A and B are shown apart, each in its own frame.
Chain A
Amino acid sequence: MFPDLGKYADVVLSAYAVTATIMAVIVLVTLVRGKRVRSNLRELEIKQEENG
């Protein structure tokens, strides 16, 4: 099932590996930072409501 990539197997697989890594990093960093900022804001808003 896996295609025979011949003598270019290393460059083709490297291209896919680099792309997958970079995409995973940008998606994860985006989601983790977004979650952290969202929870910080929520905490602050709760604190503000408590203080009136």
Chain B
Amino acid sequence: MKFSSLWEFSNPTKFISLSERVLPSLWILAGGSLFVGLIWGFFLTPDDYRQGSTVKIIYLHVPAALMAINCWLMMLVASLIWIIRRHHVSALAARAAAPVGIAMTIIALVTGALWGQPMWGAWWAWEPRLTSFLILFLFYLGYVALWEAIENTDVAADLTAFLCLVGSVFALLSRYAALFWSQGLHQGATLSLDKEENIADVFYFPLLVCIAGFVFLCIALILYRTGTEIRLRQTSALLARQGGEHVS
């Protein structure tokens, strides 16, 4: 496939036909990886010598946090495509990704708090990574609220795209804050391309499978939701042609 042919999928019909072709495989990959990864991590890995059994929370917290940030970055790319090339599918894909990002952010915040209470002695700490993550969560809520508040979809797409650009600062901050603000409670990266810094293999491999499961699940959800957004727009257009009501 040539790179230029990627733009073909800005055509709603082609986008839906592609997503319907790949979605069954994505659901199977997501379900399979999550099943294998979580069973492996929960039942077949030992406790950590310091964290005890709370280390099993890593299989939920790390993939969810990764996807919370990556969903926003995906929304950023889609928003930039909307701003520059005015492809409606990209604006709708960004809109479709936001609730998925919210779900991932809530999972990361709650599992982080549940891990933090016995390990840090506090459910929450106002430290750089956690605070920037909370702000990212508020940006997600604001993004969804802005889409809902504006009836004209092109205006909504413009305004939410700019909100997404601003929020990207906090998405990147929540990813890198632990690296450049040393006063935070949050430890450094759990995974790194530098092998020396990674967690022990016994935790590392099931974690990779869980991350794959979360990635496949998020892609499947976003593709399916984008298809739904496209159909909603088609429904609105049909109703408008018939002089009917607006659908949201």
A residues in contact (CB < 8 Å) with B: 1-9, 11-12, 14-16, 18-19, 22-23, 25-27, 29-31, 33-34, 37-38, 40-41, 44-45, 48
Contact = CB atoms under 8 A, between A and B. Distances in A.
Given A15-B60, A41-B238, A22 B231 contact: no
B235 interface: yes
Pairs A-B, 7 closest by C-beta atoms: A5-B53, A26-B103, A34-B228, A15-B111, A11-B114, A15-B114, A19-B60
B107 A19 contact: yes
Contact of A12 (B57, B217, B232): B57
Given A26-B99, A48-B238, A6 B47 contact: yes
> Which of B100, B114, B234 has the largest number of chain A CB atoms within 10 A?
B114
B185 interface: no
B219 to A, nearest CB: 13
Interface string B99-117: 1100100110011001101
Interface class of chain A by DSSP: helix
Contact of A44 (B56, B114, B224, B239): B239
A41 B234 CA distance: 7
B24 interface: no
A22 B103 contact: yes
A7 B52 contact: yes
5 contacts: A3-B56, A8-B118, A30-B224, A37-B228, A44-B239
A6 B52 contact: yes
Given A22-B103, A26-B100, A41-B238, A34 B224 contact: yes
A44 B241 CA distance: 11
B221 A9 contact: no
A48 B234 CA distance: 13
Interface class of chain B by DSSP: helix
Contact of A15 (B43, B110, B227, B231): B110
Contact of B232 (A4, A5, A16, A37): A37
Nearest to A42: B231
Interface of B: 38, 42-43, 47, 52-54, 56-57, 60-61, 64, 99-100, 103, 106-107, 110-111, 114-115, 117-118, 217, 221, 224-225, 227-228, 231-232, 234-235, 238-239, 242, 247
B52 A14 contact: no
Contact of A25 (B103, B110, B114, B238): B103
B53 A8 contact: yes
Contacts of A7: 52
Contact of B115 (A9, A15, A23, A44): A15
Given A7-B52, A44-B239, A16 B42 contact: yes
B72 to A, nearest CB: 16
Nearest to B99: A26
